[in-house]
């Protein structure tokens, strides 16, 4: 005999039918009168993950922080967004920064080398290195707002996405506690450094 629980076939059909009716009769949700808010947020969220150079450098920051351990593991992700925003601020007020693309490529190269070598400089030196390159990333990415979108929500999305990329790096860096994990991280650092060389060649071409 076939058993039917409280959610038998009939109820599933009812539920699916209800969802289908809802989906068919969906109306635009105009919950907020200000225009460009959601789009600005999504553009900001997408921006940092749209360029491989930016993605690799952000993840390398997280990986290096995980290798260095406390307090660098939190100092680097705290330093980066603020200095990156300073770079964005410079770009927004029209202060030019020479060699932005070269700086971004160098950031991937040098951060990759640091991870590959498992370098352990003083924490402040590590923060200064990360902060220096953050200015280039902020200058390049923080200023590209399409017209009609909210600058505030773009900034929120941009900072959140960058922070999440650091989080990904730190999460991957958890494998550092095992010997095979340490080897894997060094390998990942080497890959980031090689990608940095490619970016550098492209920037200088």
Partner 1 sequence: MKRRHGSNAWAMGLAVLAGAAWPAPAEAHLVTTGLGPVYDGISHVLVSPEDLIPVVAMALLAGLNGPVAGRRTLFVLTGAWLLGGVAGFAHGHTAVPAALTTGSFLVLGALTAADLRLSSRTVTVLAVAVGLLHGWLNGAGIAASQREVLGLVGVVGAIFVVVALLSAFVVSLRAAWMRIAIRVAGSWVAAIGLLILGWTLRTGAAG
| Contact call for residue 163 and partner 1 (CB under 8 A) | yes
Stretch that binds partner 1, among 83-91, 99-107, 119-127, 172-180 (CB under 8 A): 83-91
- In angstroms, the CA 67 to CA 171 distance is 11
Q: Which of residues 164-203 bind partner 1 (CB under 8 A)?
A: none
Shortest distance, CB of residue 74 to partner 1, whole angstroms? 4
**Span interacting with partner 1, options 5-13, 22-30, 59-67, 82-90, rule CB under 8 A:** 82-90
Beta carbon nearer to partner 1, 79 or 107: 79
Distances (CA, A) of 76 to 43, 55, 97, 120, 131: 25, 16, 23, 13, 8
Q: Please choose, out of 6-14, 52-60, 124-132, 150-158, the segment that lies near partner 1 by the rule CB under 8 A.
A: 150-158
Look up residue 88 and give its two tokens.
Answer: 């964005």
Distance in Å from the first CA to the final CA of the chain: 74
152 binds partner 1 (CB under 8 A): yes
Shortest Å distance, C-beta 145 to partner 1: 8
What does the alpha-carbon distance between residue 121 and residue 185 come to, in Å, rounded to a whole number? 18
Does residue 92 interact with partner 1 by CB under 8 A? yes
Least separation in angstroms between residue 71's CB and partner 1 is: 9
Distant-in-sequence contacts of 47-52, Cβ < 8 A, 24+ apart: 47/141, 47/144, 47/154, 47/157, 47/158, 47/161, 48/141, 48/158, 48/161, 48/162, 48/165, 49/161, 49/165, 51/141, 52/195
Interface with partner 1 in residues 104-143 (CB under 8 A): 142-143
Stretch that binds partner 1, among 9-17, 114-122, 154-162, 194-202 (CB under 8 A): 154-162
Q: How far apart are CA 24 and CA 47, in angstroms?
A: 33
Q: Which residues bind partner 1 (CB under 8 A)?
A: 31-32, 74, 77-79, 81-82, 84-86, 88-94, 142-143, 145, 151-153, 155-156, 158-160, 163
């Amino acid at each position: 005999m076939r058993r039917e629980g409280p959610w038998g076939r009939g109820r599933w059909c009812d539920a699916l039918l209800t969802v289908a009716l809802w989906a068919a009769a969906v109306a635009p949700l105009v919950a907020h009168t200000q225009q460009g808010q959601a789009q600005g947020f999504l553009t900001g969220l997408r921006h940092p993950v749209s360029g491989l150079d930016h993605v690799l450098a952000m993840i390398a920051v997280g990986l290096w922080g995980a290798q260095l351990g406390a307090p660098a593991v939190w100092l680097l992700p705290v330093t980066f967004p603020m200095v990156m925003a300073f770079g964005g601020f410079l770009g927004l007020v029209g202060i030019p920064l020479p060699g932005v693309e070269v700086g971004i490529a160098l950031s991937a190269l040098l951060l990759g080398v640091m991870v590959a070598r498992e370098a352990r400089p003083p924490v402040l030196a590590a923060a200064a290195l990360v902060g220096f390159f953050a200015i280039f990333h902020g200058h390049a990415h923080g200023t590209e707002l399409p017209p009609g979108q909210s600058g505030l929500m773009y900034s929120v999305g941009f900072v959140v996405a960058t922070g999440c990329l650091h989080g990904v790096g730190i999460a991957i860096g958890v494998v550092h506690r095992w010997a095979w994990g340490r080897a894997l991280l060094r390998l990942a650092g080497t890959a980031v450094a090689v990608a940095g060389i490619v970016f550098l060649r492209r920037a200088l071409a």
